[in-house]
Amino acid sequence: MSEAIPGGPGPARAGPLRSPQGLVAGLTLITLAALALWLTRDLDQGTLRSMGPALLPDWLAIGVGLCGLVLVGMSFTSDGHGLDRWSLRGPVLVILAIVAFAVTIRPFSLGAVSSPGLGLAVAGPLAIIIGGYATPEARLRDLLILAFLLTPFCMILFGDLLNLPIPIFPQKFAELFPATWSQKQILRLTAAFFAGGALLVFLLYPRHHNQSVDAADHSGRI
């Protein structure tokens, strides 16, 4: 489990700083504590007998800040980890994918701009394909097949079988069908259509062979 945070105990570094990770961690805690104290500055602390809303948050923030101070102090006295390599591509694309899902699943307005509610039929594939590119090994063909298979699966599972109130497709789309069709019938047809799309991609798109299996290294963390 020690390998959960790679970087390892760094060699004795030049200069007084012996644990860059500890320093940044401590500074982060101090910043968070300061933020909390600043946010509760207008609230009443009260007394122990009748506690105000700010009493507990303030004391907790002070505790967090103290931990941060000790961490900063220790980063100059005892050896610790170096700073880890931070990647940009993974987090950025994962966040983009989630935000794309959030703004397309149902109408969402931010100030003057508002997005149309497109439902799971658009939000699902969007999340999978944008998210899929978070790894350099992404392949469009596989992601398309995955999107076209998982989306109808989720439509049937969540919309049809479990009846969760998730928008499945844009309202405009549902109006294309004769009025006698029920929502569920449209849903099933759309799902079948998606699955057909997966089959199409599978048959038409050229494939690359790759035998190796990659798996997440999950060294026993919870």
Partner 1 sequence: MGDFFSNLSLGFGVALSLQNLGLAFLGCLVGTLVGVLPGVGPIATIAMLLPITFGLDPVGALIMLAGIYYGAQYGGSTTAILVNIPGEATSVVTALDGHQMARQGRAGVALGIAAIGSFIAGTFATLVIAALGKPLTGLALLFGPTEYFSLMVMGLVFAVVLAHGSILKAVAMILLGILLSTVGTDLETGEERMTFGLPFLADGIDFAVLAMGIFGIAEIMRNLDHTEHRDVVRQAIGRLLPSKEDFRQAAAPIARGTVIGAILGILPGNGAVLGPFAAYTVEKKLAKDPSRFGRGAIEGVAGPESANNAGAQTSFIPLLTLGIPPNAVMALMVGAMTIHGIVPGPQVMTKNPDLFWGMIASMWVGNLMLLIINLPLVGVWVRLLKVPYRLMFPAILMFCCIGIYSINSLPTDVMFIAFFGLVGYALIKLGFEPAPLLLGFVLGKLMEENFRRALIISRGEIMTFVDHPVSAGLLVVALIVLVLALLPTIRKGRDEVFVED
Ramachandran angles phi, psi of 2, nearest 5° = -65, -20
Which residue number, 115 or 188, has a Cβ lying nearer to partner 1?
115
Question: CB of residue 64 vs partner 1: minimum separation in angstroms?
Answer: 5
Which residue number, 107 or 177, has a Cβ lying nearer to partner 1?
107
Closest CA to 20 of 76, 92, 87, 85: 76
Q: CB of 33 within 8 A of CB of 62?
A: yes
| Residue carrying the six token digits 């700010």 | 54
Which residue number, 142 or 202, has a Cβ lying nearer to partner 1?
142
Closest CA to 97 of 71, 121, 72, 131: 131
Question: CB of residue 118 vs partner 1: minimum separation in angstroms?
Answer: 12
Closest CA to 52 of 40, 62, 63: 40
Question: CB of residue 191 vs partner 1: minimum separation in angstroms?
Answer: 15
Which residue number, 98 or 192, has a Cβ lying nearer to partner 1?
98
Question: CB of residue 178 vs partner 1: minimum separation in angstroms?
Answer: 28
